[in-house]
Amino acid sequence: MKKQDFFSELQKALEFENITFSEETNFKKIDGFDSLRVMMTIAFVDDKFGKKLSAKQLFTISTVRSLMELIGLENFEE
């Protein structure tokens, strides 16, 4: 998946309307990143990449980049 597409689709999936995502975005510091948004992240990764992430993994990361690393950087292109 193209990185730019990943950023915009993730932002849309998490319903953070006024923020433009990048690799450095610390999405967990955005107000409103709660259990429901963790679920939405799990759903997004399952749907787009067929990959299962645990809630524990998601609570240990913070930036979009670190989420990409969990998914596997080989899944992304510039």
Partner 1 sequence: MIIETYFPSKKLTNTDLETIFPDWSASKIEDKIGIKERFVAEDNETALDLAFEASRKVLKQFDKDRIDFLLLCTQSPDYFLPTSACILQNRLGLKTSIGAFDFNLGCSGFIYGLALAKSLIKTGIASNVLLVTAETYSKYLNPNDRANRSIFGDAAAATIVNNSDVNNIFEFDLGTDGEGKDNLILINGGMRNKVETTYIEWEDEAGNLRSNNFLFMNGPEIFNFTIEKIPVVVNNVLLKNSITMNDIDYVIFHQANKYMLDYLRKKLKIPEEKFYNNMLFTGNTVSSTIPIALKDCKDRSLILPGNKVLIVGFGVGYSWGGTILEI
Site for partner 1, rule CB under 8 A: 34-36, 38-40, 42-43, 46-47, 52-56, 58-59
Per DSSP, what are the bridge partners of residue 62? none
State in angstroms the smallest separation of the CB of 37 from partner 1.
9
Rounded to 10°, the helix 64-71/3-13 angle is 110
Instruction: Give the long-range contacts of residues 28-32, CB within 8 A, separation 24 or more.
Output: 28/61, 28/62, 29/62
State in angstroms the smallest separation of the CB of 18 from partner 1.
16
Q: Which of 47, 77 has the CB closer to partner 1?
A: 47
| Closest C-alpha to 27, from 35, 19, 69 | 19
State in angstroms the smallest separation of the CB of 6 from partner 1.
19
Q: Which of 20, 35 has the CB closer to partner 1?
A: 35
